[in-house]
Amino acid sequence: MNTLPLLLYAAAGVAYAIHFARRDTAVGRTATTLLLFGALVHTFVIGMQTMEVRHVPFANPSRAVSTFVWLFTLSYLYLELTTDERAMGVFILPLIVGLQTIPALYPGMEYQDAVLDSPWFWVHVSSLLFAYASFGLSGILGLTYVLQFKEIKKKHLGYFYTRLPSLQVLDVMNSRAVAVGWVFLTFGVIVGGVWTAQARGIDPTDPNLQAMSLDDPKIFVAMLTWGVYSFSVVARRTLGWSGRRAAWLSALGFAFAMLNFLAINYFVTTSHTFY
Amino acid sequence: MHLFLLGVSHRTAPVDLRERLDFSSRDLSAAAEAIARRQSLSESVVLSTCNRSEIYVASSDPAQAREELVAFLSDYHHVPAQAFQPHLFALENSAALAHLFRVAAGLDSLVVGEPQILGQVKEAFQTAAGKQCVGPVLSNAFRWSFGVGKRVRTETALGEGAVSVGFAAVALARKIFGRLQGRRVLVVGAGEISSLTAQHLRTQGVGEMVITSRTHAHAEALASEVGGLAVPWDSMINALGAADIVITATGSQRPIVTRPQLQAAQGHRRSTPLFIIDLAVPRDVDPAIGEIEQVFLYNIDDLQSIVEENLSRRKAEVEHAEAIVNEEVTKFMAWQRSRTAVPTVVALRQRFEAIRRAELQRLEGKLGGLSPESRARVDEVTRLIVEKLLLEPTEQLKALPDEETQAAYTEAVNRLFRLTDDEPLDDGRGKRSELPKQS
C-alpha cells in the first residue's frame, strides 16, 4: 500500500535532480506535480489505515515512519509553494524516498493496546512527528547553508552558488523551522509525561508504563534532542549563533531525532513498544 | 522583396567612426521615415547602440538599396562616403536574418550575452512601426527575432553570471543577503570605481548609504550623486559597525581597517553577515578580517577572477546559442516559403470549388427530384472529394525546400490549372461551362 507513494516520490526525486542540474523550470514543475500527486496518494493510504484501526497509524514503527514521511512531504511542499524555491527538493527527496522504503518493505500491523485508546496518545505522537518533520526541513536547510557558505567564503563560486538560495533566506527559513519544531517537541514531550502519569493510574501493571523513565534510551535521546534544539533557539537570540553555527546545530539535532525515530525505536527502546 | 541590411558595428568600425554614424542621440523615427521614403526601399528599421548602427530595409533591388543607403548615411551624418565605406557590412535575406537573430540573442554584442540588446532591438522596431515604416518583411523578421532572443536566454547560459566588477559585487551581495532592500552600505573613498559600484547597489534598492573620504568634499559630491550621507573620515570605524555592505577604494598605502578595529566596531552585532568589497590596490582591508566567521571579504582580484570565469563560461555557451540561431533561420525561411505558396493554394482551392459548383448547377435538372437531405449529402460528398484531392498538393507546396523549387512548382501549378488568367475552364465536352463568380 505504501509502494505507490514511494514510486511517485522516487519519480519526483529524479525530476528534482534533473531540475537542479539543468535548472529547467519545466522539469521543476513536473517534479512538484509528481510530489503533490505522491502526497495525495499517500494521504489516501493514511486515510485508509486510519479508518481500519480508527486512529492515525503510528503505534507501529513502520506505520509511524510512513506518517512521518507524509507530514514531512506536506511540510516541504508548504515551504516550496510559499517561497517559490525548488532547489531544496533535491536534498529533501532522498530522505523522503529512503524513509518511505521502510513502510513499503515492512508494512507492519497496527496493534491496538488499550492504553493507546486516549486522545493524549494522538496529540503526543502527532506533535512529535510534526516536530521531526520541521527538524528534517531545518536539517536540510542547515546542510545547504553550509554548502552555500563554503563556496562564498572560499571564493569558489561554483555549482551550488548558482543553484541555492541566498544565505540569509536559508538562515531565516532554518530558524523558523527550528522554532516551530521546538514548540511541537516541547508540547509533545509534556503531553507524553501527563499521559503517562494518567495511564499509570488506570493500569499500574503495564510494562510499557513501568519503563517510562530517563533510563529508557528513547526518552533519554528525546531529551537530548530537546536539549540541542533548546540551546539552538536560545543561542541564536542571546549569543548570536546564527548562520553556520545554527546550521550545524540543526543538522546535529536532526541526526539525534532520526537516531531516536529509527534505530532506537526499532531495536533498543524498552518503553514505547505497543506491538 | 528582399531583406537587406547595411551597417557598422564594433566588429567592423573603430569607435570614432561609430560615433559619427550614431543615430541614438538623434531622432530615430525621423531617420527611419526618411529611409523608407527613398525610391527602392519600402520598409526600414534603424538599430543604433553604442556598438552598432544598422539599417534594415525591404527592397526589390539590393544593389540599389546599398547605394541609396550609403548616400543616406553620408547626407544624414555629414560624413563623406569614402570615410565609412570600407567599414560597412552588407547582408541580404537569410544572412541578414541570421545577423538580426544573432544581435537579438546577444551573440554579436561586445560583452557576449548582455541582456540590454534585446530591449534595444524591440525599441528600434517599435519606433519604426510607430511611423508606419515597417511592412511584412521587417515585421515578420523582427518579431521572430524577439522569440529567438528569448529562446537563447532561456535555453542557454549565455547571459548568466556577472561580467563586470560592479555587477559581480551586487550578485554576491544578493547571494549573501537575499533582498538588498534596507541594507546599510558604507562607501570608503569616493573614487570612480567605488562610485560605480555604489550606483549598482543603489539600483538594487539598498537602504541608507553612508559615504566617507579623507577629502570630505569628495564624499559630499558622491553622496549627492547616489543619494547618500557624507560623514567625516574620523567616524569611519563607527559607521563600519552599523554597515551590512562596505565598499573601500582609497589610495592608502596601508590597510585602513584592521581586524581588532572591526571587531571593536561591530561589538554585539557580530553575528550578522558583513560583506566587504575591497576595490583598492594596495588593499584597504586587513586580509585577516576575512577569517572572521560572518565576514565575507572580496578584493578586486577576487571579483576580477569571477568576471573572467563568467566570461569564459559564456563563451562555452556560444556554440549552443549559434545552433539555436541557425535552427531558427531555417525555420523562418521554411515558414516564409510556406507563406509564399499561400496565394497559389488559395487560387487553386477557388478554382476547384468553382468547378464543383458549376458541375452541381449543370446537373440541377437530374438532382431536382432528390429530397433536401439527399441534396445536402451530395453537396457534402463533392466537397469532401475536392478537399481530399487538394490536401496532398497543398502540403507539398508549403513544404518545398528552397525558393527556386518553390517558384518552379508555383509556376507549374499556375499553368496546369490556369490560375493566373480569368478564362473559365473547359468542362471537357468541347463547350465552355459558365462559372459562377467567386464571392
User: What are the pLDDT digits (tens) for B27-65?
Assistant: 778 888 888 888 788 889 999 988 899 999 998 888 999
Q: Give yes or no for a contact between A152 and A161, defined as CB atoms under 8 angstroms apart.
A: yes
Work out the minimum CA distance from B417 to partner chain A, whole angstroms. Answer: 49
Closest among B123, B26, B120, B7 to B65, alpha carbons compared: B7
> Are the Cβ atoms of B271 and A153 closer than 8 angstroms?
no
pLDDT tens digits along A70-118:
999 999 999 899 888 899 999 999 999 999 998 888 877 666 666 666 7
Does the structure show a pLDDT above 50 at B437? no
Chain A residues within 8 Å of chain B (Cβ atoms): 148, 152-153, 155, 157, 161-162, 165-169, 239-245
Nearest CB to A166; choose among B160, B175, B294 = B175
Predicted pLDDT of residue B336 = 83
pLDDT tens digits along A198-218:
777 776 677 666 666 776 778
Q: Give the C-alpha separation, A176 to B163, whole Å.
A: 35
> Are the Cβ atoms of A168 and B293 closer than 8 angstroms?
no
> Are the Cβ atoms of B294 and A166 closer than 8 angstroms?
no
Q: Which SS3 state, helix, strand or coil, does residue B27 take?
A: coil
Closest among B236, B41, B46, B38 to B123, alpha carbons compared: B46
> Are the Cβ atoms of A242 and B272 closer than 8 angstroms?
yes
Side-chain half-sphere of B99: how many Cα atoms within 13 Å?
A: 21
Predicted pLDDT of residue A274 = 54
Predicted pLDDT of residue A209 = 67
Predicted pLDDT of residue B26 = 67
Work out the minimum CA distance from A18 to partner chain B, whole angstroms. Answer: 15
Burial class (CB in 10 A: 0-12, 13-18, 19+), A107: middle
Closest among B95, B150, B137, B152 to B336, alpha carbons compared: B137
Does the structure show a pLDDT above 90 at B188? yes
Note if the pTM is more than 0.80.
Answer: no
Label each residue of A236-258 as H, E or C: HHHCCCCHHHHHHHHHHHHHHHH
Chain B residues within 8 Å of chain A (Cβ atoms): 160-161, 172, 174-178, 268-273, 293-294, 296, 298, 302, 306, 309
Contacts of A162 in chain B (CB under 8 A): 160-161
Predicted pLDDT of residue A266 = 66
Catalytic residue IDs of B: 50
What rounded mean pLDDT belongs to chain B? 87
> Are the Cβ atoms of A161 and B268 closer than 8 angstroms?
no
Taking residue B231's Cβ as centre, other Cβ atoms within 10 Å add up to: 18
Helix or strand run (H / E) with residue B258: none
Nearest CB to A243; choose among B172, B175, B294 = B294
pLDDT tens digits along B132-164:
889 888 999 999 999 999 999 888 888 888 888
Contacts of B174 in chain A (CB under 8 A): 166
Contacts of B151 in chain A (CB under 8 A): none
pLDDT tens digits along B95-137:
999 999 999 999 998 888 888 899 999 999 999 998 888 988 8
pLDDT tens digits along A231-268:
999 988 888 888 888 999 999 999 988 888 777 766 66
pLDDT tens digits along B338-380:
887 888 888 999 999 999 999 999 988 888 788 889 989 999 9
Work out the minimum CA distance from A25 to partner chain B, whole angstroms. Answer: 10
What's the maximum distance between 2 C-alpha atoms anywhere in chain A?
63
Report the residue of chain B nearest A161, measured CA to CA. Answer: B175
Nearest CB to B176; choose among A162, A166, A241 = A166
Does the structure show a pLDDT above 90 at B183? yes
Question: How many Å is the Cα radius of gyration of chain A?
Answer: 19
